[in-house]
Amino acid sequence: MTDEFENPLYYDDDADESYLDDKTVAVLGYGSQGHAHAQNLADSGVDVVVGLRESSSSRSAVKADGLRVETPKQAAKEADLVSVLVPDTVQPAVYEEIAPVMEAGDTLQFAHGFNIHYGQIEPSEDVNVTMVAPKSPGHLVRRNYENDEGTPGLLAVNQDATGDAHDIGLAYAKAIGCTRAGVVETTFREETETDLFGEQAVLCGGVTSLVKQGYETLVDAGYSREMAYFECLNELKLIVDLMYEGGLGEMWDSVSDTAEYGGLTRGDRVVDDSARERMEEILEEVQDGTFARQWITENQAGRPSYKRLRHAEKNHDIEAVGEDLRALFAWGEEAETEEKEKTRTTADD
């Protein structure tokens, strides 16, 4: 463990996989994260059973991958540790199904804290409640493991009924390859609220809105749709890769002086103090449960707003231009193969 950071950070030497010895792990769901966790655990010598409903289309994939599959309830009944990797919206119903067969001393584990933090799932006090959350899509968690590499992850303990929940969670993190890269200790509250805020204000909401606004500004000013796409969306990956590899400093050092001066003198005019104020409003809605209540109600109503917004997003002009341009790129076929791999493992059961 290193104490150089505000939150503790753990590596392979800090984790003891013997905490999973003689234990059966049930992985509920075989989507993006589920398939990666189950296969990595099995390759690490852990006894794994996958829990899927009888009608799940993923059952054949589980068997083809050489793993055992049962219903969620039966898998949980056999297991000492139950890793719940179905979508957030499905988890409460799944927990209701498995709760009667979980025993004192078992571990209930998640990869996101939403339902525990917002009280949609209230586990019995005699079970451990932990979180092991790789900070990467599942197909990369699996690929990195197969390449003897690691995927950074998070570890949290919300309820320690046995006194060794932290060790059990850390052993699980090692078995799926996260401690190879480093595991940061956090809490369910911190993970949930920062994750939701990051998605909404920056990663998924803020960035896509900025890209579309930039695209529309250029097109409305008479520039070609193709040039607008290249400048506002396609080149974004190049910039993000630089930031990922070496932070903002690496990015500024790598772009031209003209780009650096333009960015430093104009960026805050686009994302200004008013944007910061709206970010603080979004964070407050996450913290006080406003967003959670809205999302829960939206699902109960059949997702009408979600479907309308999703349809509009998919039909934005930038999508049509991008599809045509990407078909011309040299890496088009490789990207298509990658997308098929991700799609196969995206829909959690």
pLDDT tens readout for residues 215-271: 999 999 999 999 999 999 999 999 999 999 999 999 999 999 999 999 999 999 999
Band of pLDDT at residue 347, cut at 50, 70 and 90: very low
Mean pLDDT of the residues in the chain? 94
Give the angle 94-125-161 at the CA atoms, nearest 5°.
Answer: 110
Q: Is 334's pLDDT higher than 90?
A: no
Band of pLDDT at residue 349, cut at 50, 70 and 90: low
Q: Which residues pair with 157 in a beta bridge?
A: 130
pLDDT value at residue 4? 67
Q: Is 344's pLDDT higher than 50?
A: no
Candidates 142, 169, 138, 175; CA nearest to 154 is: 169
> Encoding tokens for residue 57?
């289309």
Residues 178-188, mean pLDDT to the nearest whole number: 97
Task: Report how far residue 74's alpha carbon sits from residue 49's, in angstroms, rounded to the nearest whole number.
Answer: 9
> Encoding tokens for residue 17?
């996989």
The reply to whether 316 belongs to the active site is no
- Region of 303 on the Ramachandran plot (φ > 0 left; ψ -120 to 50 alpha; else beta): left
Residues 62-78, mean pLDDT to the nearest whole number: 97
pLDDT value at residue 1? 66
Band of pLDDT at residue 71, cut at 50, 70 and 90: very high
Q: How many percent of the chain have pLDDT more than 70? A: 93
Q: Which of 35, 37, 112, 117 is catalytic?
A: 112
Count of alpha carbons within 13 angstroms of residue 12, beta-carbon side: 9
pLDDT value at residue 14? 97
Q: Is 330's pLDDT higher than 70?
A: no
pLDDT value at residue 332? 54
Residue identified by tokens 């088009």 is 332
pLDDT value at residue 50? 98
**What ranges in the chain are assigned the alpha helix state H?**
32-43, 59-64, 72-78, 91-98, 114-117, 138-146, 165-175, 188-197, 206-220, 225-229, 236-254, 257-270, 273-287, 290-300, 304-314, 317-326, 332-344
